[in-house]
Structure 1
Amino acid sequence: MKDIWQEIRDAGGLTPPIREQICRSYRGRGEKALAAVDGGMVRKYNDFFVVTGCSDEYIVEDDFCTCKDFIYRGRCCWHILAVQIAVAAGSYQEKDGWYIDRWKMIR
């Protein structure tokens, strides 16, 4: 059986049945992740993926996120899920630069 990420790649993006499956499997986190992908809130820099959340930008690398939800629970947050969806769908903004350089300027 294929996993959801492979289904997204095979379908060439997010079809309505795949969206429903994500929402069924991940509930509120899935809905937030899909909204972030749809809203262009997932960006890939040379060093990290960054997801814009409600109150801040969160760095996502593999199965790690800088958000409080991930730090406290230690499990997949909606930011990580958004990156996984965006990568499988090929639906993220590519930024030619290093996020760490941008972060230094805004902090």
Structure 2
Amino acid sequence: MMTQKQKTLASYALPLVALGIPLLGNIFSKEINWSVSDFLIAGVLLFSTSFLINVVRRKIKKRTHRILICIFILMAFALIWIELAVGILGSPWAGN
């Protein structure tokens, strides 16, 4: 069983691991071409999502509410990430 401190540490280590994947791809492959701003935006999105889920886990007592709010946060994260990557909504800050 993990303690609260270990859960918090794991939830903030996960975005670092996720950012390590494109970093390794950038180093070893010509196919992946992320700029510093790409890493910065991805880091802000990943860490803010992790922070919000951590806050919800600590503050919301009812399990069903906690799950629903976390699903909403993850859906918002996915929508923003997809919009930045490929521009499904056609916003001015959409990707290529």
TM over 0.5: no
Query: Larger relative contact order (C-alpha < 8 A, sep ≥ 6)?
Result: 1
> Which is richer in strand?
1
Q: Which has the larger radius of gyration?
A: 2
> Which is richer in helix?
2
TM-score in terms of structure 1 length: 0.29
